[in-house]
Chains A and B, each alone.
Chain A
Amino acid sequence: RKEVEQDPGPFNVPEGATVAFNCTYSNSASQSFFWYRQDCRKEPKLLMSVYSSGNEDGRFTAQLNRASQYISLLIRDSKLSDSATYLCVVSPNYGGSQGNLIFGKGTKLSVKP
């Protein structure tokens, strides 16, 4: 089983649509969770951290279910500029103990006019 699994997509949606990405992780000891986005041939950029209570940033909402080892990202009112690959990222480390990030292969989103 892969450490972090995502549906590769692509997800093709019209502008204004709501789209949801899902991710599962295998290590129950994982402590930190993130969503990054990566544009074609560019570096990953941090979109948001994911907290157990769930968190929202504008049109983006992230949820974490530790019992199911499941992370989600919801994008509302999608824009053309949201087209990118969305990376689910997990770390076994928390707080002062820092270390490597474990990336999923990403889910590709294409928003059409």
Chain B
Amino acid sequence: NAGVMQNPRHLVRRRGQEARLRCSPMKGHSHVYWYRQLPEEGLKFMVYLQKENIIDESGMPKERFSAEFPKEGPSILRIQQVVRGDSAAYFCASSPFRQGIAYEQYFGPGTRLTVT
């Protein structure tokens, strides 16, 4: 049973370019979350999605960042016009849908974005 998959694992972009990060949840999981970890910092929530629906994007920067989870295919986190401050590890997590029980989120290996 494959875990959460993310690609690419490493991504280098020049300032002003676009970055696209992909996440495939664990089999049977319908919820996807994106987190960002800046160097020497804790993980910060960005966005929570179900298929074709953004549930909570309260952690997303107002500009340049967007996320989607289409009916078919992986979830995508898109960063337009990257700046050096976007350099970080971006982790995706997934969880199954449950009711009445505290859920757990399982994390993918992350994408390390470097902006030069």
Partners in one complex: yes
Within the assembled complex, what's the spacing in Å between the Cα atoms of A106 and B41? 9
How many interface residues does B have (CB within 8 Å)? Answer: 32
Q: Does A1 contact B (CB under 8 A)?
A: no
List the B side residues contacting A42 at CB < 8 Å: 109-110
Task: Say whether B45 contacts A101, CB under 8 Å.
Answer: yes
List the B side residues contacting A4 at CB < 8 Å: 42
A32-B43 in contact given A99-B48, A100-B59 (Cβ < 8 Å): no
User: 0/1 per residue, A83-113, Cβ < 8 Å to B?
Assistant: 0000100010011101111111110000000
Task: Say whether A44 contacts B102, CB under 8 Å.
Answer: no
Query: What band does the interface of chain A fall in when counting residues whose beta carbon is under 8 Å from B?
Result: 20 to 34
Chain A residue at smallest Cβ distance from B33 = A100
List the B side residues contacting A95 at CB < 8 Å: 98-103
A96-B99 in contact given A44-B43, A44-B107, A104-B42 (Cβ < 8 Å): yes
Chain A residue at smallest Cβ distance from B107 = A43
Within the assembled complex, what's the spacing in Å between the Cα atoms of A44 and B3? 13
Q: Does A46 contact B (CB under 8 A)?
A: yes
Interface residues of A (CB under 8 A from B): 4, 31-32, 34, 41-46, 49, 87, 91, 94-96, 98-106
